[in-house]
Amino acid sequence: MRQKLAAGNWKMNGTGTALAELEILTQAHGHSGAQILICPPATLLAPAAQITKTTAIALGGQDCHAAASGAHTGDISAEMLKDAGATAVILGHSERRADHGETSDMVCAKTSATWHAGLTAVVCLGETLDQREAGETLAVIGSQLAASLPDGASGSNTVIAYEPVWAIGTGKVPTLEQIAEVHDFLRAELSTRLGAETANAIRLLYGGSVKPGNAAEIFATSNVDGALVGGASLKASDFSPIIAALEAS
């Protein structure tokens, strides 16, 4: 059985006052049946860890360098994220791929570094609107998956997040059939590469404009094990009903 996962990506949002939202979530869902992962800005990881330390809520980074340490001004390593309280790292988010030119090969190296530090990699994949309209969605997803994932993926070190680029922060959501098509494809691709047992242990998240109003139907979709949520994870009043929908699914 794959444990359901609700992951919140705060992106570059939040100073110390934002931790009040984490306090509320911790009180409401600190011992949830679903796994909850909050990925705040790196500056908030250590104080966030103080809030979540006696609960089941996990913390994650939003990116890491492929090296453990060294002369890389402004970067952060998986070891540093772990030291601050993270147990996971989001990698290959489309905003990193677009804003920082991250290729799947770079994501692959970062995933290896994440595993080496003992953290779980949340590897993001997704097609642009042009690619979808050109009928290239599965080809794009397949090649991103193949190139972003090093050998050695397992249910404990890897989560895959399908995030159509055109659905992130836009309020546009694929149809449930479109989500199912990609998630079923991802499961089959993982199975071909890793064998059915390992593939069946890897959680597949959907991400892109998940809101309290659409969460339940998305969670009922084939091979969807949870969500990676951006905007609606910033306020406990939005994220809490999404977690509740996941728990009820």
Instruction: Determine if 174 is a binding residue for ligand PEP (CB under 6 A).
Output: no
Among 208, 219, 236, 244, binds ligand PEP (CB under 6 A): 208
Helices (H), 72-166: 78-84, 94-99, 104-116, 129-133, 137-148
163 binds ligand PEP (CB under 6 A): yes
Selected from 6, 9, 88, 111, the binder of ligand PEP by CB under 6 A is 9
Q: If binding is defined by CB under 6 A, does position 164 make contact with ligand PEP? A: no
Nearer to ligand PEP, 104 or 233 (CB): 233
Question: Which active-site residues does the annotation give?
Answer: 93, 163
For residue 97, how far is the Cα from the chain centroid?
Answer: 14
Contact between 85 and ligand PEP by CB under 6 A: the answer reads no
Q: Which stretch binds ligand PEP (CB under 6 A): 57-65, 152-160, 175-183, 202-210?
A: 202-210
Gap between the Cα atoms of 30 and 53, Å rounded: 10
Q: Pick from 169, 172, 192, 220 the residue near ligand PEP by CB under 6 A.
A: 169
Tokens representing 77?
């390593």
CB 161, min distance to ligand PEP, A: 7
Separation CA 94–CA 73 (nearest Å): 22
Closest by Cα among 143, 132, 153 to 208:
132
Residues 6+ apart with CB under 8 A from 131: 137, 140
> Can residue 126 be called a binding residue for ligand PEP (CB under 6 A)?
no
SS3 34: coil
Binding mask 10-49 toward ligand PEP (x if CB under 6 A, else -) reads ----------------------------------------
Q: What are phi and psi of 172, to 5 degrees?
A: -90, 135
**Shortest distance, position 219 Cβ to ligand PEP, whole Å:** 14
Q: How far is the CB of 149 from ligand PEP (least distance, A)?
A: 18
Burial class (CB in 10 A: 0-12, 13-18, 19+), 18: middle
Specify whether the backbone of 11 is left (phi greater than 0), alpha (psi in -120 to 50) or beta: left
60 binds ligand PEP, rule: CB under 6 A: no
Residues that bind ligand PEP (CB under 6 A): 9, 163, 168-169, 207-210, 228-232
